[in-house]
Amino acid sequence: MPTDNKRIAGPEDSISYRLFKETSNESVLSKINNLKNNIRSDGRKTNEQRKIFLKCGVVSQAKGSAYFEVDNTKLIVSVYDPREIPKKTDYSLKGELFCIFKYAPFSCPNRRGHQQDAEEKQHSAIMKRALESAVCRHEFPNFQVDVYVLVLENDGSALSGAITAAGIALAQAGIPMYDTITSATLAIQGSTKLLDPTLEEEALCTIATHKSDTETGYDSHGIIVLAILSTHEQISEFYQLGNLNLDTLNESISILMNATKEIVPLVEKCLVDYVNKTFKANGQS
C-alpha cells in the first residue's frame, strides 16, 4: 500500500471498538429466523418501503444536485456541466457519464478509507450502466457529464437510493433524458423478500443458512438492485448477489418493478416543486 502523504494518516493498526462488543452467534441466527418469519426489527411489512425524503438543488455550486434520505440512509449527489473527456484521443459519437460513488469515512459501522475501494468502484460502474441508458448521450458527443455521489450515512439500500437521486440531479442539471429513472433494493433470506432493506438486513441476507436444523441443504439468500425507466418499462440495470433460483428471481422482478413505480411520483413531485420554486423566484426579481 503506497503511503498517502497528501492526507494526515492515522496509526497503522487502529481497530474499531465495535469489534469488542459482546455479540453471540446465537443472536445472528435468531435474527435470521425472525426475518424468515417475516418479522422486521423496525416493524415494517416485508413489502413496505421506508419513507423517502427527496430534495433537489442542495449544492449551490453544482449544475444539478439532489439529497436523498430514508431513515438513516443519507446521501447527496451532484452533477456538473459537460466537459471534454480527458485523455481521449479518438472522437466518440456518444457522450459519457463519469460516476464516482463514495462512502464518507464515517458513514458505515466500520471506518472507510479516503480512496475508493473495490466495492465503491463496483457501485460506480453499476451507477454508470444504470444511468447511461436514461440519458440522451448522442446530445453531447465527445463530452462527459460528471456525477458524484457521497453517502453520508449508510443504513442499507444506498446504491438504489444513489441511482434515484442521480436521476433527479441529472434532470435538474438540464441533461437531456429519455425518462425518469428510479431504483429499489430487495433482500432475500429463505422465502422472505424484504423490500428496501436496512444495513443489518442486508448483512443478514448475505449469510447462507440451512433450510432447517435437520436439513443440510442451503436456503436462498441474496440482494437484488433494479433500476428502471418507468414510462418505457425498460430495466436499465439489474444486479444480483447471493444464491437464488429462477422462480425467486422472477418473483423478485415483479416486486421490484412495483416498488420502483411507487417512487416515480415522488421524483416527479420533487422536480415539479423545484421548477415552481424557480419560476416564482424569477417572477419576483
Partner 1 sequence: MAKQFKSLHPTKFYRDYLNQDIRPDGRLVSKFRPVIINIGSIATADGSALVRIGKTTVICGIKAELCPPKPEKPNEGFLICNVELPPLCSSKFRPGPPSDLAQITTRFVADLILNSGCINLKDLCIVKEKLVWCLYADIICLDHDGCIIDACLLVLLTALKTVRLPVVQYDAAIDKKTIDASVKKCLNIYNTPVSTTYAMFEDKIITDPTTEEEEISSGLLTVVVKDKELCSIHKPGGSPLSEEKLYECINETVNHADLLITLINTAVSECNDDNKNC
Partner 2 sequence: MNLCEAEKTFILHGVEENFRVDGRERSQYRPMELETNVVAHAFGSSRLRLANTDVLVAVKIETDVPSVDQPDEGKIEFFVDCSANATPDFEGRGGEELATEIANSLTSAYRSTKAFNLSKLCILKGRKCWKLYVDILLLECGGNLYDAVSLAVKAALWNTDIPRVLAVNLDGNNVEMEVSDNIHECVKLDIVPAPVMVTISKIGEQCVVDPSAAEEQCATASMVVAVSQDRFTTVLQSGSGSLHPSTLRESLKLGLEIGSKLDQALIEVLKQKPAKKQIGFLM
Which residues contact partner 2 by CB under 8 A? 15, 19, 110, 118, 121-122, 125-126, 128-129, 132-133, 206-208, 218, 220-222, 224, 229, 232-246, 249-250, 253, 257
Q: How far apart are CA 174 and CA 83, in angstroms?
A: 14
Judged by beta carbon, residue 8 or residue 15, the one nearer partner 2 is 15
Judged by beta carbon, residue 63 or residue 137, the one nearer partner 1 is 63
- List CB contacts of 161: < 8 A, sequence separation 6 or more: 68, 70, 73, 75, 183
Going from the C-alpha of 247 to that of each of 183, 192, 254, the distances in angstroms are 21, 13, 11
Judged by beta carbon, residue 10 or residue 217, the one nearer partner 1 is 10
CA atoms within 13 A of residue 81's CA, in its CB half-sphere: 3
Residue 235 binds partner 1 (CB under 8 A): no
Q: How far apart are CA 262 and CA 269, in angstroms?
A: 12
Residue 132 binds partner 1 (CB under 8 A): no
Judged by beta carbon, residue 154 or residue 192, the one nearer partner 1 is 154
Of 195, 204, 182, 188, residue with least CA distance to 247: 188
Residue 174 binds partner 1 (CB under 8 A): no
Burial class (CB in 10 A: 0-12, 13-18, 19+), 150: middle
Judged by beta carbon, residue 56 or residue 244, the one nearer partner 2 is 244
Q: How far apart are CA 54 and CA 67, in angstroms?
A: 6
Q: How far apart are CA 170 and CA 279, in angstroms?
A: 19
Residue 81 near which of partner 2, partner 1, none (CB within 5-8 Å, type-dependent): partner 1
Residue 110 carries which DSSP code? S
Residue 106 binds partner 1 (CB under 8 A): yes
Smallest gap from Cβ 67 to partner 1, in A, equals 9
Smallest gap from Cβ 214 to partner 2, in A, equals 18
Which among 145-153, 173-181, 211-219, 246-254 is the span making contact with partner 1, rule CB under 8 A?
145-153
| Cell reading at 194 | 424484504
Q: In this structure, which amino acid lies at residue 160? A: S
Smallest gap from Cβ 88 to partner 1, in A, equals 15
Judged by beta carbon, residue 102 or residue 221, the one nearer partner 2 is 221
Judged by beta carbon, residue 25 or residue 285, the one nearer partner 2 is 25
Q: How far apart are CA 219 and CA 208, in angstroms?
A: 7
Residue 269 binds partner 1 (CB under 8 A): no
- Answer for the pair 199, 154: CB distance below 8 angstroms, yes or no: yes
Residue 106 near which of partner 1, partner 2, none (CB within 5-8 Å, type-dependent): partner 1
- Answer for the pair 103, 175: CB distance below 8 angstroms, yes or no: no
Residue 111 near which of partner 2, partner 1, none (CB within 5-8 Å, type-dependent): partner 1
Q: In this structure, which amino acid lies at residue 231? A: T
| Cell reading at 28 | 445472528
Smallest gap from Cβ 207 to partner 2, in A, equals 8
Q: Which residues bind partner 1 (CB under 8 A)?
A: 4, 6-11, 13-18, 20-22, 58-62, 72, 74, 76-78, 80-81, 100, 102, 104-109, 111, 114, 146, 148-150, 152-155
